[in-house]
Amino acid sequence: MAEIFSCLVDADYLDTEHHCAHKRRSTTGLKSVVDSLLGAVLVARERKRKSSAPGCLADVRNAVFDACFVKALQPQGFFSLTLPTGGGKTLSAMAFALAHAKQWSLDRIIVVIPYLSIIEQNAAEYRKILDPDDHGIVVEHHSAVRVDDDAEATASDDSARLAVENWDAPIIVTTSVQFVESLFARSPARCRKLHNIARSVVVLDEVQTLPARLLNPLLSVLRELRNNYGCTFVFSTATQPAFRRAPTLTEGLAPEEVKELVDQPAEVFGRLRRVRYSSTGRIEWDALASRLACHEQVLCVVNVRRHAFELWERLQSVVSASERDAVVHLSSAMCAEHRLALIGTIDDPGKNTIRQRLKKGQPCRLVSTQVVEAGVDLDFPVLYRALGPLDSIVQAAGRCNREGLLRDKRGQQVFGEVNVFTPADDRLPGGVYNVATNETARLIASTSLDEMAAIPDSFERYFSNLFQYVDTDHHRQRECSIQDDRRELRFREVARKARVIDHSGTPVVAPYGRAKEIVESMRARKRDRGEPRFDRDDLRALQRFMVNLNDRDFLVLRDQALLTALLPGLELFVIEDCCYHPQLGVLVDRRPTEEFCV
C-alpha cells in the first residue's frame, strides 16, 4: 500500500513540476551504467593498490575487496561487513553493491550514513570515482529544509514540495535520519521516495549508530523490504551490534539470516591492530590542553560542542603565537563545506589543511566533537578521547595510526597512542549516549579497552547489554508501541514516534564560501507567475552550507534580528556574518576572546 501511495504522489509531483517549470527531471538507470561503474571501481582499486605501502594493511584491504566482489553473486538478503576502521569498507562495500546489483538486475544503490561528516567524505569519494563529470549518477541528499504537507498549499509551499528528492538516481548517499524517517513517514513529500527503495542494495554504514529505541520496528521493516520488495541490506561497521533476536529485540535477526562478507573477522581484527589504549582518568581542561600542546600532531575528541570550544580556547592560550593557526576546531556548529575545507584532501598542495599538515609532518592539534570519529580519513599518531560509548571510542581510535605507518627511531613498527579521559566537567548528551557511556565505564572497570577492542564479540556483548537498558520500540509511558500503531494503521502516531532525533533543530544557511553567491542568485532570479522559485538543484547546492540550530539558539538569533528568510514564506533562514566564526562556526552567546578572534 505504501509503495502504491509513493508512486502516485511522486507521479503527481513530477507532473506538477513539469507543468510549472516547463521541464522534466532527467534520470539515468543503474542498469544502463552498472558495467562502466564497476569498471571505474576496479580502476580505483588498482590505483589504491599501487599507491599503498606493501604490508599487512594493504593485504587485508585487497582480500576484503576480493571477498566482497565474489560474494556479491550470492542470493539477495542480509549481509554484514565487519571490519576494523581503515580496512577499506567504503570501496569494498560499493564493489559488492554494484556487482550484486548487476547480478540481480537491481535498480539502485542507497548508501545510508549516520553523520554528515562521513557523507561529505564518502559522497565526494564516490563522485570522484563514479561521477567525475557530475552527470547525476551519485546524488547526495541530506537537506533538512522543512516541508509541511499539512499546511494549506501556497505558491511558496509548492516550491519546497516540488524540490524534495525522490531518489531516482543510480546511487543515493543519504543520512540515517532521511532513510529511517522516510520508512515511517506519513506526509506525501517524504513518502514520494519509498517506491524507489524497492529493488535496491542498501548499505547501512556505521550501522551501530542506528537508534536503539527504533530497532524493533526498523528491523521489521527491513525484513519486509527484503522478503517482498527485492532489497538487499549490508550492515557495515567496525563495531557490529547485536541484532540477534532477544527478549527486548523481538524483531531481531536469526544467525542464519545474516551472511558475513569477511571471512574470520576475529583474525582480521587481530592483524589490523594499530593502537594501544590507556586511561588518563579525570582531568581539567587546562591540564589537558598542556598535555595536547606537548604533541606536535594530536587529535582530541570530546562529547559536546561546548567542550570543543572551551578546549580549543585553552589550547590556543598555551601554544606559541606562531602555532595558533595549527590549533583546529571541528564540530557540527560549522557547515559541511567549512569542515571539508579544513580537512582538505591529499591532492591539496599549497593549502594549509589538516591532511596537508599531517602529510608534511607539520604541527596539527585538532579538537573535535564526534563528527570526526567515523569515516573521516585522518591519521594522527596520538589520540585523546573523552569517555563515551564503547563504539564511539573505538571508532575515534580509527583516526590514530590509521595507515599503520608509525615507526620508532630504529624503524620498527609501533602502535599509536589512544588516551581515554574523563573531563572534570563531565557533561554528556542525554538519552542512549549517556546510558552507553555508563555501560562502557562499567565494562572497562573489569576488562581493559585493549582486550575489548581486539575482539569483535566484545561489541556484541556490549550492545546486548545496552539494549537491555534502552527501549527498542520507543514505548513511552501510557503510549502504544510503534509496532502496535503500525498494525492499527495509525500513520500519524508512527511518524511522530519514529523520529530519529526528537528535536532535530532548525537548519540555517551559514555565510561561508559560495553560500552568499547561491543565496543572492536565488533571491534575484526572475520567475514567471506560477513557476517554482527554486528547485532541487538549488537545495542540493545549499545543503552543504547548512547548520542545524536547536530551538533555543534559533529563537535567540531570530529575536536579535540576526536571521533573515532566504525567500518570503520559506522556512529557511540565512545567518548574519557576525554570528559565524571562521574557526568555530555558529556562535550564539559566547564569542572567543578578542585575542583569538580572526
Q: Which residue segments constitute the domains of the chain, with CATH numbers given? A: 2-263 (3.40.50.300), 274-453 (3.40.50.300), 506-596 (no CATH)
List C-alpha distances in Å: 161 to 138, 296, 307, 309, 502.
22, 50, 38, 37, 23
Give the model's pLDDT for residue 596.
Answer: 42
The model's pLDDT over 348-407, given as tens digits with 9 standing for 90+, comes to 665 789 999 999 999 999 999 998 886 678 999 999 999 999 989 998 999 999 888 898
pLDDT for position 349: 61
Q: Are 318 and 356 in contact (CB under 8 A)?
A: no
User: Measuring CA to CA, how many Å separate 147 from each of 150, 159, 187?
Assistant: 9, 10, 9
d(CA 159, CA 461): 48
The phi, psi pair for 299, rounded to 5°, reads: -115, 135
What is the pTM for the complete model shown? 0.85
Q: CB–CB of 585/334 below 8 Å?
A: yes
Question: From residue 55, how far is each of 61, 64, 437, 485 by CA, in Å?
Answer: 10, 14, 35, 53
Of 100, 78, 109, the closest CA to residue 174 belongs to 109
User: Can you read off the three cell numbers belonging to residue 200?
Assistant: 535496491
530 Ramachandran zone, left/alpha/beta (phi>0; psi -120 to 50): left
Among candidates 100, 106, 98, 94, which has minimal Cα distance to 64?
94
- Stretches in the chain below the pLDDT threshold 50: 148-157, 592-598
CA distances from 389 to 34, 113, 255, 439 (A): 39, 18, 25, 8
Q: Quick one: pLDDT at residue 144?
A: 55
Q: HEC string of 468-534?
A: HHCCCCCCCCCCCCHHHHHHCCCHHHHHHHCCCCCCCCEEEECCCCCHHHHHHHHHHCCCCCCCCCC
Q: Would you tell me how many other CB atoms lie within 10 Å of the CB of residue 541?
A: 18
